[in-house]
Chain A
Amino acid sequence: MTRPALCSRRHLLHSGSFGLGTLAVAHLLQQDGLLAAPAKPMLDAPKRFDTLPKPPHFPGRARAMISLFMMGGPSQMDLFDPKPLLQKHDGGVFPGELKFDNAAEASAKVFGSPWKFAPQGSCGMELSELLPHLGGVADEITLIRSMQSGVSNHLQGLNAINTGRSTSGRPALGSWLTYGLGNETRDLPAYMVLGHPAGLPTFQQVHYSNGWLPSIYQGTLVRAAEPRILNLDPDPRLAGSPQMRQIALLRSLNERHLAEQPGDNDLAARIASYELAARMQVAAKEALDISAEPEYIRRMYGIDTKETQDYGTRCLIARRLVERGVRFVQVLNNSQTWDQHANLVTALPKLCKAVDQPSAALVADLRQRGLLDTTVVHWGGEMGRLPVRQNDKGREAWGRDHNTFGFSQWVAGGGFKAGYVHGATDEWSHKAVENVVHHYDWHATLLHCFGLDHTQLAFSRGGVKATLTDGQDARVVKELLA
């Protein structure tokens, strides 16, 4: 049995008791001159941005995050939010008003979930039979059943949940975290994005764009198939010192260019990206190579099974990246595959089959490695779905339209409670009514887990202070925290 790499910096940080370890290492790094000044609003002189580790505003539990993002809007009442009333009135007329968004084929007929729910774990969290493996880690997760963003198209919803507001052009969550805290490894990008073999999700770079933050904070897309990162091998003639000589010369040339224009974030980011690329040649190959993972780990993630092979591999890679100090990893689906306007009955089981076992394995594996306490795992999309049928042309054809007034997501680790269900929707799973968590509350809480104050983590745009939660009445939802 292989033990996790004991020497990784991430592990070192965790080996100390919480808080003390963080501060002690930050202190050591500072002594080494490795730690840059804390991020604060840039008001006057141009500043050089970097991804060196930075201390949080206050001690936080979380140090890394893996977001399993499910573009399209997973159906909460079929997965996370059981509503017996829907079954009872299945096919009857929905009594309330509904907002059908880009809906062709709307109907008002109640659509009871075709799937059964049962209590899981010692906490008794009710989960759908479509997610049997998640049931196995129910005692590790916090399930939020009262998410709300209030903007019901995919792009605006994605913007809200991923960039803080429904408007376009803003930095993604991962960019904010890496801007605020830097990276714990110098050998891999701070923010890595694992794409799906069938392509990027709808809206593509919106998922990992740095917006108006300096481009050093944008996500680096990793290909879905081998070679996952191209060009990691130097030409054999140049490998070793000849290439180091090239990089040293390149640095010297580029630094002189930058000196002519101090404060040019793009040039500075380009210089940093060469340094990173040089180190990635060895580190990325090792991090992305799962061949050394023992058989039981591969089986745990479902890599031996066709349906789960891709997602399992990517979840395992995500764990390996976090283990090596990467701050933020996003695992993406293609298109907006969770957007079941039709054919929900057949499509949802397939989608769940592909992600359930790997997602649960990720949580369990992080736990057994002692990394879950400091790693936030997030599973969710940009919206949820309506309690009524769409495309009412027979059971096979039924789907559900968009719903942003109530949807579910789960999180694990990093300071979130374990085995806990938060909030509730109305009896139809239509609108969040109890302990509503707006997307900005979620962001404020998440930053808090990382030791960041959402009002303080700011970037100055021509003297105007901009934050992730910008101008919204966000609150840290303390009830979610352990």
Chain B
Amino acid sequence: MEITLTHYLVLSTILFAIGLVGIMRRKNLLMLFFATEILLNATNIGFAAISHYLGDLSGQMFAFFIIAIAASEVAIGLGLLIVWYKRTGKIDLDLMTSMRG
């Protein structure tokens, strides 16, 4: 029973779907960040798998950059979150409706 690219891609897709469910479900901003991490990791698996099965390092390169982006996102995101928390004492998404149209 050989593991093919498709297996990895399906796994990646399932993880991505879990991430999607997370970002839709979570109302706590910190937990929402967790879900975005899941999304990024899911794509990483996809890139690494394609890189492997094609024999091309580009996929891995993209995975690196995605990890870099994830790290920056966490730094900035948490910083903003802290500012918000200091102002309002809440990090609940349902209460952040200042952009109401």
Query: Is A bound to B?
Result: no
Task: Identify the B interface with A (CB < 8 A).
Answer: none
Task: Identify the A interface with B (CB < 8 A).
Answer: none
